Structure 1
Amino acid sequence: MARMPLAERRRQLTAAAIRAMTRDGVSRTTTRSIAAEAGVSLSVFHYCFDSKQALLEAVLTTISDDYITVVREAIRPRATLHETVRAGFRAYWDHVAAHPGEHMLTYELTQYALREPGFEHLARRQYALYCDTYTQLLEELGQRIDFELLVPVPVLARYLAAMTDGVTLNFLVLGDAAAAADILDMITDHVAGLIRER
C-alpha cells in the first residue's frame, strides 16, 4: 500500500465513512466496514482516528464544510441584496437536493450523539457550528455589501440555522421539493427584510 500523508489518509477515511454511513446508517457502520470502504487495513484506520468521536466529528465537519463552500461562493453581490440572499439559500438548497443522504446522515448523527453517553458534546458542537457558519457568512457578506442588520448577528445566525434545519428535515421526511422551495422563498423575503442596505 502506498504511503500517504496522515491528513490525506484521514480525508480518505472520512469520505469512506460518509459513504458507508449514508448507505448503511450510523449504527450499522463499523470501523471495519469503513476501512474496507476505503480499501485500507483496520490498523490504518486506528492510526488515523484514535476514537469513534474523532471520526464522527470529522464526518460532521466535512459535510458542513462542503455545503458552506458552495454557499460562500454563491453569496457574491448580485443586483439587489434580496437576490444575493436568495442565491445563498438557493446554493444551500441545491446541495440538499443533490446530496439528501448526507443531510439525512447529519440528523442521524445528531440523534446518535444525543443517545450515546459521552457523545452529547458532538451534537452541541454540530449545532454551534451551524450558528458559527451563518455568523461567518453574514460577516463576509458585510465586507462585500454595506448594510446594517435590524437584529443582532448572533440572533439572525441562530434563526438562519433553525430555519434551514427545519426546511431540510421537512423535505427529507415529506420529499416535497416545491413546498420546501416556497418556504425558502418566504425565509429569503423575511431575512432580506432584516437587512438594510446603506
Structure 2
Amino acid sequence: MARMPSAERRRQLTEAAIAVMARDGVARATTRAIAAEAGVSLSVFHYCFDSKQELVESVITAITDHSVTVVKRALRPRDTLAETVRAGFQAYWDHVRAHPEEHMLTYELTQYALRRPGFEHLARRQYEAYGATFAELIDELRRSRGFRLRVPVTVLARYLAAVTDGLTLDHLVLGDDEAWAGVLDTVTAHVVGLVDDGASP
C-alpha cells in the first residue's frame, strides 16, 4: 500500500465513509466496511480517526463542502443579481438531482447525532455550518456587487439554510422535477426582494 500524507488519507477514508453510509446507513457503517471501501487496513483507519464521532464530523464537513464547491463555481458575476442568485440555486439543485443518496445521508446523519448520546453537538455543528456557509456566500456576493440587505446577513443565512434544507427533503420525498424551475424562480425572487431599493440588483 502506497504511503500517503495523513490529511489525504483522512479525505480518502471520509469519502469511503460517505459511500458506505449512503449505501448501508450510518448505524450500520462499520469501521471494517469503511476501511475495505477505502482499500486500507483497520490500523490505518484507527490511525486517522480516534472515534466514530470524529469520523461523523468529517463526513458532515465533506458533504457540505461538496455542495458549497459547486455553488461557488456557479456564483460568478452575471448581468443581474437575480441571474447570479438563480445560477447558485440551480447549481445546488443539479447537485441534489445528481447525488440524491448523499443529500439523503445528511438527514440521516442529523437524526443519528440527535439520538445518540454524546453526538448531539454534531447535529448542532452541522446546521451551524449550513448557516455559516450561506453567510459566507452572501458576503461574497455583497462585496462583488455592492448591495445592501434589508435583513442582517445572519438572519438571511439561517433562513436560506432552512429553506434549502426543506426544499431538498421535499424533492427527496416527492420528486417532481418539472415543478422545480418555478420553485427556484420563486426563491430567487424572494431573495432578490430583500435587497435595498436603493441598491442596484
1:33 Cα offset (Å) = 0.4
Quick one: distance in 1 between partners of 2:192 and 2:84?
9
Equivalence for 1:169:
169
Equivalence for 2:116:
116
Equivalence for 1:184:
184
Q: Is the 8 A contact 1:76 1:144 kept in 2?
A: no
Q: Once the two structures are superposed, what CA deviation does each residue of 1:123-178 show, in whole Å capped at 9, x if it has no partner?
A: 00000000000000011111110101011111100110000000000001112222
Equivalence for 1:154:
154
Equivalence for 1:26:
26
Equivalence for 1:87:
87
Quick one: distance in 2 between partners of 1:48 and 1:92?
30
1:22 Cα offset (Å) = 0.8
Indicate yes or no: 2:45 matched with 1:45.
Answer: yes
Residue 153 of structure 1 aligns with an amino acid whose one-letter code is: V
Quick one: distance in 2 between partners of 1:163 and 1:126?
15
Which stretch of the first structure deviates more once superposed, 39-48 or 71-80? Answer: 71-80
**Which 4+ runs in 1 deviate beyond 6 A?**
none
Q: Once the two structures are superposed, what CA deviation does each residue of 1:33-70 show, in whole Å capped at 9, x if it has no partner?
A: 00011111111100000011110111110111111011
Show the 5 A alignment for 1:62-141. 62-141=62-141
Query: 1:3 is paired with a residue of what secondary structure?
Result: coil
Query: 1:15 is paired with a residue of what secondary structure?
Result: helix
Q: Once the two structures are superposed, what CA deviation does each residue of 1:74-126 show, in whole Å capped at 9, x if it has no partner?
A: 11111111111101111111111111100000000000000000000000000
Quick one: distance in 1 between partners of 2:172 and 2:105?
11
TM-score by length of 2: 0.96
Query: 2:148 is paired with a residue of what secondary structure?
Result: strand
1:24 Cα offset (Å) = 1.1
RMSD: 1.0
Residue 38 of structure 1 aligns with an amino acid whose one-letter code is: A
Query: 1:61 is paired with a residue of what secondary structure?
Result: helix
Q: How many residues align?
A: 198
Quick one: distance in 2 between partners of 1:109 and 1:180?
25
For structure 2, the residue ranges without an aligned partner over 5 or more in a row are none
Quick one: distance in 1 between partners of 2:77 and 2:45?
43
